[in-house]
């Protein structure tokens, strides 16, 4: 069976031949993979050597990539009750540590120990293979007509969690309405997570702006404007005082992972505002911050959150919102997928290309 694998730190991926997966447990499900998304996390895994022995699956010196995926059920174990052959499914990514209170109640996104494993990222093979076996509880059934864009479910569950946490952070406020009074929101970045965050906010009727490096004439800007949001080129904003150009916002989702931008966003938060960081800077470097920015956090009752991964409720909401987005913004969801490749095009699939938003690898295409 074909799969696409890497050795972390090698800087490349390649097609390998691996053994066919087999059902080993009563709740196992055999899934024929259809398509898998490529993202920056895959490139990070390829580029950087493993930090510890947990990085690779036990007994293997390679890692099958892929964590944004959709497939079709082809066989079920004797104990499977919620899925049947022919169902389209999206597999979740993170597996709990088996030790902490959060993981004990299927909240691995809140793991206390950090000893989680993630399919295609750390410790477990991913979904870039012709077939996989997964436990029933880690598979989410989706409508059949969503399968061609379903790898975006994994991308969308990140802003879904961010919106849930923003709502929770504002729940104490004496205000009603969407996200407890969020009337203006800002998203930074122009990748799939950022653009899906914009769409999710617009579905909820929130006036939304996006700040990104791409030109105002580019595809990301057109997508943003088509869903009723406002695109602001980063070059037009002075990051020492972005409020002068942008105004203030009740919520900001920072999706670039740029530390300097994260710090700058404190300036644009309105009183009781929430900044949710969904992109984490990978490097260790000092970033200057004015003492007055910290004073402003106190004086304006600001909240900074970090969000990683998502729970099953977020995954379900991502499926629901993705379906609604297709109706509310015709062609918008499909436009996020700018490149499609076959497995044989592995070297091209992981390259960053001008105008690329989301690339998919079509597994069934020979």
Q: What is the 3-state secondary structure (H, E, C) of 99-130?
A: CCHHHHCCCHHHCCCCCCEEECCEEECCCCEC
In a shared domain, residues 349 and 223 = no
Output the pLDDT for position 366.
52
Asked which of 306, 324, 345 is the last residue of a domain, the reply is 306
Report how far residue 162's alpha carbon sits from residue 43's, in angstroms, rounded to the nearest whole number. Answer: 23
Residue 121's pLDDT band (cuts 50, 70, 90):
very high
Segments forming the whole domain that contains residue 22 = 2-149+336-362
Q: Could you tell me if residue 355 is inside a domain?
A: yes
The sign one gets for the Cα dihedral 109, 112, 114, 119 is: negative
Q: Could you tell me if residue 268 is inside a domain?
A: yes
Angstrom CA distances, 99 to 66, 109, 113, 119, 312, stand at 26, 14, 8, 19, 19
In a shared domain, residues 231 and 129 = no
Number of alpha carbons in the 13 Å side-chain half-sphere of residue 262: 18
Asked which of 265, 289, 306 is the last residue of a domain, the reply is 306
- Burial profile 95-108: b = 16 or more Cβ within 10 angstroms, e = fewer: bbbeebebbeeebb
Per-residue pLDDT, averaged over 268-288, amounts to: 89
Q: Which of 261, 88, 93 is nearest to 189 (CA)?
A: 261
In a shared domain, residues 126 and 189 = no
In a shared domain, residues 81 and 176 = no
Q: What are the helix and strand counts (H, E) for the chain?
A: 11, 19
pLDDT, the chain, mean: 95
Phi, psi (deg, nearest 5) at residue 161: -65, -40
Q: Is the pLDDT of residue 139 over 90?
A: yes
In a shared domain, residues 181 and 45 = no
Phi, psi (deg, nearest 5) at residue 117: -120, 150
Residue 34 contacts residue 41 (beta carbons within 8 Å): no
Q: Could you tell me if residue 163 is inside a domain?
A: yes
Q: Is the pLDDT of residue 88 over 70?
A: yes
In a shared domain, residues 167 and 257 = yes
In a shared domain, residues 166 and 295 = yes
Q: Could you tell me if residue 287 is inside a domain?
A: yes
In a shared domain, residues 283 and 161 = yes
Asked which of 289, 306, 323 is the last residue of a domain, the reply is 306
Q: Could you tell me if residue 215 is inside a domain?
A: yes
Q: Could you tell me if residue 315 is inside a domain?
A: no
Q: Is the pLDDT of residue 365 over 80?
A: no
Prediction pTM value = 0.95
Q: Is the pLDDT of residue 111 over 60?
A: yes
Q: Could you tell me if residue 325 is inside a domain?
A: no
Q: Could you tell me if residue 128 is inside a domain?
A: yes
Residue range 210-246, pLDDT digits in tens? 999 998 988 999 999 999 999 999 999 999 999 999 9
Q: How many domains does the chain have?
A: 2
In a shared domain, residues 301 and 160 = yes
In a shared domain, residues 98 and 196 = no
Query: The domain that contains 6 carries what CATH number?
Result: 3.90.180.10
In a shared domain, residues 65 and 133 = yes
Angle, vertex CA 245, rays to CA 244 and CA 250, nearest 5: 85
Residue range 154-185, pLDDT digits in tens? 999 999 999 999 999 999 999 999 999 999 99
In a shared domain, residues 109 and 18 = yes
Residue range 315-363, pLDDT digits in tens? 999 999 999 999 999 999 999 999 999 999 999 999 988 889 999 999 9
């Amino acid at each position: 069976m074909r799969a696409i694998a890497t050795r972390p730190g090698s800087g490349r991926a390649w097609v390998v031949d691996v053994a066919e997966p087999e059902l080993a447990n009563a709740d196992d499900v055999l899934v024929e993979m259809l398509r898998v998304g490529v993202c920056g996390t895959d490139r990070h895994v390829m580029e950087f050597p493993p930090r510890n022995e947990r990085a690779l699956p036990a007994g293997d010196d390679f890692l099958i990539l892929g964590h944004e995926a959709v497939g079709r059920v082809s066989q079920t174990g004797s104990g499977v009750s919620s899925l049947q052959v022919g169902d389209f499914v999206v597999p979740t990514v993170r597996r709990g540590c088996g030790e902490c209170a959060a993981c004990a109640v299927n909240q691995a996104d809140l793991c206390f120990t950090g000893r989680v494993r993630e399919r295609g990222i750390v410790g477990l093979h991913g979904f870039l293979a012709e077939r996989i076996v997964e436990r029933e509880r880690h598979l989410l059934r989706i409508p059949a007509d969503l399968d061609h864009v379903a790898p975006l479910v994994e991308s969308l569950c990140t802003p879904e969690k961010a919106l849930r946490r923003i709502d929770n952070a504002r729940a104490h406020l004496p205000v009603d309405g969407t996200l407890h009074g969020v009337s203006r929101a800002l998203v930074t970045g122009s990748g799939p997570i950022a653009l899906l965050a914009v769409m999710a906010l617009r579905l909820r009727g929130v006036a939304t702006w996006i700040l990104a490096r791409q030109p105002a004439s580019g595809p990301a800007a057109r997508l943003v404007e088509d869903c009723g949001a406002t695109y602001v080129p980063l070059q037009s904003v002075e990051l020492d005082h972005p409020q002068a150009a942008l105004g203030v916002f009740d919520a900001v989702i920072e999706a670039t992972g740029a530390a300097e931008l994260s710090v700058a966003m404190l300036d644009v938060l309105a009183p009781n505002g929430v900044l949710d960081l969904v992109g984490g800077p990978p490097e260790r470097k000092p970033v200057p911050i004015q003492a007055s920015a910290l004073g402003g956090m106190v004086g304006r009752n600001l909240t900074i959150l970090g969000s990683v991964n998502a729970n099953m409720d977020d995954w379900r909401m991502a499926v629901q919102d993705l379906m609604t987005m297709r109706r509310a913004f015709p062609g918008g969801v499909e436009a996020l997928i700018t490149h499609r490749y076959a497995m044989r095009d592995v070297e091209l699939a992981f390259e960053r290309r001008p105008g690329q938003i989301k690339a998919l690898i079509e597994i069934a295409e020979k």
